[in-house]
Amino acid sequence: MTEGQNETTNLQPRYAAQLAEDLKRNMLTQDRLTGELTALEERLQTLRRNHALLVTMQQALGDADTAAGGAGEEGKAPATVPHQAKAQRNGSAKAIRSPKPAATKAPTATPSSVHGKGSGAPTLRELVVSQVSRKTQPTSAQEVTDALAAVYPERNIKITVVRSTLEAMVAKGSVRRDKHGKAVFYSA
């Protein structure tokens, strides 16, 4: 029996050392993966914001080409959109815009015609409905806010107001709400 006790006594420190090493390796791996996960989540959020901006820019270019009749105005319409995107990134409410030909201006859809309430400009509700109905897939309040802020930087659109507008439209039945975990998505 003393030989069995010696083996157990000799194995305990080895097992304890091995367990301590395994725990240490496990914690290091957890820390590394947590850091990678955080970086990936940040990257995903950036990509989502960029996607919303690119979709908005594409829609703005498509709208300008349609309003101008397509030919000849393609070189002038894109000049406005990058300035708007730059203004949004810088947080500037005033963007330097290259002048657009009169034929490309739609009375209620272009950022330059929107001056606020009472000026014949579209209401936030109309803009939100338009943005949600353009999407083929459910969209988040953040994506709607980003898209509208890119097109209408002078309106200073806040996510809380967009979310409230979306929820009011859900209550009226003009927009549908879908929850995926903690995320809320809206569709027309």
pLDDT of residue 24: 92
C-alpha distance across the termini of the chain, in Å: 79
Full DSSP string of 50-102: HHHHHHHHHHHHHHHHHHHTSSS-TTTHHHHHHHHHHHHHHT-S----PPPPG
Instruction: Output the pLDDT for position 99.
Output: 45
DSSP state of 126: H
- 134 neighbors 148 (Cβ within 8 angstroms): no
Residue 178 main-chain phi, psi, to 5 deg: -125, 130
pLDDT for position 87: 52
Ranges of each domain in the chain? 2-187
- pLDDT value at residue 152: 86
Query: What pLDDT is recorded for position 142?
Result: 92
Contact 50, 89 (CB under 8 A): no
pTM: 0.38
Helix (H, G, I), strand (E, B) or coil at 185: strand
CATH architecture assigned to 2-187? Orthogonal Bundle (1.10)
pLDDT tens for each residue of the chain, 188 residues long: 566 667 767 888 888 899 999 999 999 999 888 888 888 888 888 899 989 988 888 888 876 555 444 444 444 444 444 555 555 555 544 444 444 444 433 334 444 434 445 567 788 888 888 888 888 888 899 998 998 888 888 888 888 999 999 998 899 888 899 888 888 898 88
Query: Looking at residue 153, what is its pLDDT?
Result: 86
Q: In whole angstroms, how far apart are CA 108 and each of 60, 72, 104, 118, 140?
A: 13, 23, 12, 12, 24
DSSP for 27-54, written as a single string: HHHHHHHHHHHHHHHHHHHHHHHHHHHH
